[in-house]
Amino acid sequence: MPKEYKYTKTFTYNGRRYKVRADTLIELGRKIEQKLSDLESGSHVISGDTTLANWSESCISTYKTGQSDTTRKKYISRIRHCILQEIGDMPLKKITPLHCQSVMNRQAGMSHTQINEVYQALKFLFRYAVANNLIASDPTAHLLKPRAKKSDQRRALTPYEREQVIALAVTDRRWYLYLLMLECGCRPSEAAECMGKDITSLDGFHMLHIRGTKTSCADRLVPLPSYLYELIKDIPPLEHIAQNREGNRITNLNRLWQGFKYHLNVQMGCKTYRNQLIPPYPLAPDLVPYCFRHEFCTNLARNGIDIRTAQKLMGHSDISLTANIYTNLETNDVLEAAKILSACDTKRDTEASNH
């Protein structure tokens, strides 16, 4: 575990906060004086004695130059909260494989996405620390990932669910976000960023430009269904297609979903008492926003769209992600065929017994 110090002092220099730690007040004063001197002279030298927090700033600004502003903020936030809070104050040369594994172990039970992001970030920081001769060996060389929480099974919508979702979503500008997921395959964050200027056309077909950043394939054009185009075509270029009641971009996706789910249950016949839903709930508990994106891909498969075209429309960097949905559809089709054939067999047996 990272060493714990008795004294900590935080100060601000040129609008940026710095933290200094020491075991004695005398040592703390000396470290603060040295830090201020380095800042004023601009003589901060990167070495094995550089803290991981300071190295991460230099490393990211030097080697992550292709990131968008949104991606950069998310990346830095993940590193700050999951890595630097644990070992950020330690000098690079003092960080051992045990420290790095301890950071990873704290991610146990988190999502696969979060665990992979922390894992890759640790590998990135120390790979370039070795490349710059700041440390002799990479403490993440044998890093292990902890067990993630079991992922929710994504599925397509039933025809009834699809009908109900569209009927409700068209009534409120906030819920246009779900229409963009359902009809254009947007990720939630991508749908929140779509603006009027992203509505375009190509060879006479209405299109939506999805300015995705998650993968190198995320920036893409997808067809717009006629009814959705008519619904959003007059949105001003600099307005978000989905916006809250104040006319601003949707930021709280969880709150948005809870509200939509409540109204969807009511629309589907759920009883309420003092604005609280009364069980049983008509809406299936496994229906989550990502099911809308899954439904989009499933429809591509149902309509015979080539899997590589589907990969581009979904913005998948790996075709295996698209293939998983296509394979699942094939399995469901086989099961549906089995049910139909079984019903036919039962009918034939009944008719035979009557003769």
pLDDT, tens only, 178-200: 999 999 999 999 999 999 999 99
pLDDT for res 2: 52
Same fold yes or no, 45-131 and 159-335: no
Helix (H/G/I), strand (E/B), else coil: 130: helix
Check residue 239 and report its DSSP letter. S
Q: Under CATH, which number does the domain 45-131 receive?
A: 1.10.150.130
What is the residue whose two structure tokens read 């039962």?
346
The class of domain 159-335 in CATH terms is: mainly alpha
38, containing H or E segment: helix 25-41
- Alpha-carbon distance of 231 to 324, in angstroms, equals 32
What is the residue whose two structure tokens read 């927090």?
53
pLDDT, tens only, 299-348: 998 888 889 999 999 998 888 878 877 776 656 655 555 666 566 656 55
What is the residue whose two structure tokens read 């710095």?
18
* DSSP string of 50-111, one letter each residue: SBHHHHHHHHHHHH-TT--HHHHHHHHHHHIIIIIHHHTTSBGGG--HHHHHHHHHTTTTS-
Tell me the C-alpha to C-alpha distance, in Å, between residue 208 and each of 219, 225, 264, 338.
11, 10, 26, 38
pLDDT for res 318: 81
* DSSP string of 306-323, one letter each residue: -HHHHHHHHT-SSHHHHH
Strand bridging mode 219-223 / 205-211: antiparallel
Helix (H/G/I), strand (E/B), else coil: 204: coil
Helical residues (DSSP H) of 185-306, grouped into ranges: 188-193, 226-232, 253-267, 290-302
| Side-chain-side CA neighbours of residue 293 (13 Å) | 20
Task: Name the amino acid, one letter, at 33.
Answer: E
- Alpha-carbon distance of 109 to 220, in angstroms, equals 33
Give the contacts of 249 (CB within 8 A, at least 6 positions apart). 192, 193, 240, 243
The low-confidence residues of the chain, meaning pLDDT below 70, are 1-3, 14-16, 39, 41-45, 150-153, 214-216, 328-355
pLDDT for res 322: 85
Q: Where are the domains of the chain?
A: 45-131, 159-335
pLDDT for res 13: 73
> How many residues are listed for the chain in this entry?
355
pLDDT for res 44: 56
Q: pTM value?
A: 0.60
